[in-house]
Structure 1
Amino acid sequence: MTDLDQRPATGHGLADALRRTAPALSVYAGVRALGLVVLAVWGAAAGKSPHTLLSARWDSLWYTRVADHGYGWEVTLPDGSVHSNLAFFPLLPWLERALSAVSPLSYADAGLVVSAVASLCAAGGIFAVADRLYGSRAGVCAVALWAVLPVGIVQSMAYSESLFTALAAWSLYAVLTGRWVTAGVLASLAGLTRPVGAAVVAALWVAVLLDARRRGGLAARAALGALLAPLGAAGYVLWVGHRTGSGLFGYLDVQKQWGNGFDGGYAFARFIGEKFTSVPGALAGIGLIVGVAGLIWLYVACVRQQQPAALLVHTGVVVALALCASGYFGSKPRLLMPAFPLLLPLAVALARLRTRRSAGILGGLAVAGAVYGAFWLHGSGPP
């Protein structure tokens, strides 16, 4: 830990940090604004409300129902399976309810505000991690790459991806700077946001073990951070088990009703294989294979880049859970969004280019991502 890491937070230090982060946040806001403008234009042409697409469809509805009615709301499908809102972790609906209670906003609109603020916090956290490891220029590029992802429009929806990524990024930054208790608290909150909060907990635990090995013993604050980290997820999972009467496996039973589970990637591999029964499907299958290969290549690049173990563990768990889950396959791209360290090798490469060239590349990607995001949300299935 450097002297800078040990320095107490002051107003002057915060102002300096904000000034350093401002370019990244400005780029991020510009990219997201472009995505919303394209979505609005597309919606006007298609006769659909962008506001509805962002705040009141698919998972957004389930979160607002939790905020409005609490847990216990469920839907029985024609095949007899039951979709319960117990599948959705509570932090986002808690924030929606709290914001709606102190403002005139509906739960859905509160969700949009929470997501907007959280996405900026996520961008700041991604910048902080990349800046610490590779410099401010790479930090700006990393934030820009996260913003221009083809599924980046989810960052502007009343979904939990932005909130989770913000908590994960800042928890990882706290790990990198030796702020163990802060890292543990943020990891616990991440565990109250999405099931993949396990990735943040695992990253913290590995970092704590490595720190203990380096020191020759476990530091008290590191131990406290490690103990705090799993409390959010464990508390919710145990509560669901108690409520359903299924004990430790209650939450898994809820997810099973939704068709979700962990099968090591068998269902996803079968899904890809089934694409090769027709020419158009074969093209999609090839695209999926290329996409998975690209993810593996990026992870190998992260290893070769010698990223800190915490980042590698977090990314590995997020990718494994996304690719090896048996749930709705159309959601896999957004489930990968918290794996932002995958973007760091690309960010470093972009940072080495001339500003005009890197800006041109990112600008082109931003336009393509905005168009794809509008197309994606106007489709029939949930993102």
Structure 2
Amino acid sequence: MPELTRTPTESPPSPSLRDRATASLRAAAPALLAYAGARAVGLIVLGISASVAGKSPHTLLSARWDSLWYARVATGGYGYEVHLPNGDVHSNLAFFPLMPALERAISALSPLSVPDAGLLVSWTASLFAAWGIYATGALLHGRRAGVILAVLWGAYPTAFVQSMAYTETLFTALAAWAVYAVLTRRWVWTGGLAVLAGLTRPSAAAVVAAVWIPAAVVLFQAWRAGARPGRLLREHGRMLLGVLLAPLGWLAYVLYVAVRNGSLFAYFEVQGQWGNGFDGGVALAGFVWHHLTTNLLAGLGLCAALALLGWLLWLCVRQRMPLPLLVYTAAMVFVSLVGAGYFGSRPRLIMPAFPLLLPPAVALLKLRPARTAVVLGAAVLASAAYGAFTLLGSGPP
């Protein structure tokens, strides 16, 4: 039988998904190692500080604040409530289901306890988040920028949360890859990842916006060019499928709470009992004004932080950040600031807005590698010290 040979006109076979993932992981290896090193410094500083203070770093990371609520959902399901003296009710229905579902599954299939399963989810997701952040930076500005961006995210002031049994790393991993998929026009992947993000945190609305607004721009441009509905469906069917999928995770959980409590707006009522709710920034303004009039230094610090956020967003616009990234970033900052909840949580709520770190990463590209390493090293040490100080204190910053 004659040997089959490829003719010159045949195109080479497309690499499989596994091959593409392997190549991407190999390219991201320096960023993942650098990010893991940054978080390892944070854990070492926390371990030493906790030992001096006579506290358990394991407990601080796995069984504190929201970690306890997620673990309770994982072990007992929904329905647990805390009744406060003022009549408010804190229900665990405020916490989205993906994290506790993963904790419960891992605990059932392994010797790990639920809190340790939470740490495993968070630490594993942090690497996937760093990978997605690197991929975005490398796509826009090259591999070195991707590495710097991943390290900067690992040295974020409240990066200690990335090592806790919280949802920040899981959400950031899903959001980063969802936005990357939009940038590379993998719309069905985008929709699927957005569904999972919507089962993780309510701030998945920012991911949905990063899908819907760029898709709307594409459709508007096609419509102006004279495309009819049939042609739009043929040419942009996968994009439309991604658009339809994107909000389903968030909607599914909100509807679950509505059916469970017998009220269409039950989820928002639960959030209201926690003191959370949309007020357009009124509570934020009052919080800043209170500090300006009672503690001028703290008030000025808050103003400086908000000004820094605004400046970074302006730099993102000025540097012509792609629309999906810009929409995601602005939406994350917006939803993190316009609520009426506990203000100590705002820095960690903004942490998934990793594109805010792109302008600093691009600026660091202009330095010599040795100077860049010094700057990143200083940021990692500062973040580690701040994390230990916060975790050993009385509450979030």
Residues 1:283 and 2:283 are matched in the alignment:
no
- Equivalent residue in structure 1 for 2:354, among 335, 340, 343: 340
Structure 1 position 214, deviation (Å): 4.1
Query: What is the match of residue 179 of structure 2?
Result: 172
Cα-to-partner distance string for 1:160-191 (whole Å, 9 max, x where unaligned): 00000000000001101111000000001000
Alignment of 1:77-116 (within 5 A): 77-116=84-123
Query: What is the match of residue 319 of structure 2?
Result: 305
Distance 2:384 2:79 in 1: 37
Query: What is the match of residue 329 of structure 1?
Result: 343
Distance 1:318 1:15 in 2: 30
Distance 2:282 2:200 in 1: 27
Farther off after superposition, 206-215 or 290-299: 206-215
- Equivalent residue in structure 1 for 2:332, among 299, 318, 321: 318
Alignment of 1:1-383 (within 5 A): 7-215=14-222, 216=227, 217-218=232-233, 219-247=236-264, 249-278=265-294, 281-382=295-396
SS of equivalent to 2:82:
strand
Distance 2:167 2:104 in 1: 14
Farther off after superposition, 262-271 or 207-216: 207-216
How many pairs are equivalent?
375
Q: 1:367 corresponds to which letter in structure 2?
A: L
SS of equivalent to 1:75:
strand
Cα-to-partner distance string for 1:278-325 (whole Å, 9 max, x where unaligned): 4xx211110110000000100010011111111111111110111111
Distance 2:15 2:180 in 1: 16
Q: 1:222 corresponds to which letter in structure 2?
A: M
In structure 2, relative to structure 1, the CA distance for the partners of 1:367 and 1:269 (3 Å cut) is: same
Q: 1:271 corresponds to which letter in structure 2?
A: F
SS of equivalent to 1:260:
coil
Normalised TM-score (structure 2)? 0.92
Q: 2:170 corresponds to which letter in structure 1?
A: L
Structure 1 position 15, deviation (Å): 3.0
Structure 2 alignment gaps of length 5 or more = 1-12
In structure 2, relative to structure 1, the CA distance for the partners of 1:221 and 1:12 (3 Å cut) is: closer
Residue identity over aligned pairs, in percent, reads: 59
Distance 1:365 1:349 in 2: 15
Query: What is the match of residue 3 of structure 1?
Result: none
Distance 1:125 1:277 in 2: 42
Q: 1:79 corresponds to which letter in structure 2?
A: N
Cα-to-partner distance string for 1:311-353 (whole Å, 9 max, x where unaligned): 1111111101111111000000000011011111111111221
Structure 1 position 7, deviation (Å): 4.8
Distance 2:120 2:210 in 1: 29
SS of equivalent to 1:133:
helix
Q: 1:244 corresponds to which letter in structure 2?
A: N
SS of equivalent to 1:306:
coil
Distance 1:133 1:303 in 2: 14
Distance 1:144 1:20 in 2: 15
Structure 1 alignment gaps of length 5 or more = 1-5
Structure 1 position 11, deviation (Å): 4.3
Cα-to-partner distance string for 1:237-280 (whole Å, 9 max, x where unaligned): 01101111111x111000000000111111111111111334xx
Distance 1:338 1:325 in 2: 17
SS of equivalent to 1:196:
helix
Distance 2:34 2:393 in 1: 28
Distance 2:91 2:187 in 1: 35
Structure 1 position 361, deviation (Å): 0.2
Structure 1 position 42, deviation (Å): 0.7
Distance 1:104 1:295 in 2: 43
SS of equivalent to 1:83:
strand
Instruction: Give 1 or 2 for the bigger CA radius of gyration.
Output: 2
Structure 1 position 17, deviation (Å): 1.5
Query: What is the match of residue 3 of structure 2?
Result: none
Farther off after superposition, 24-33 or 208-217: 208-217
Distance 1:13 1:368 in 2: 36
Structure 1 position 8, deviation (Å): 4.4
Structure 1 position 211, deviation (Å): 2.5
Distance 1:243 1:81 in 2: 19
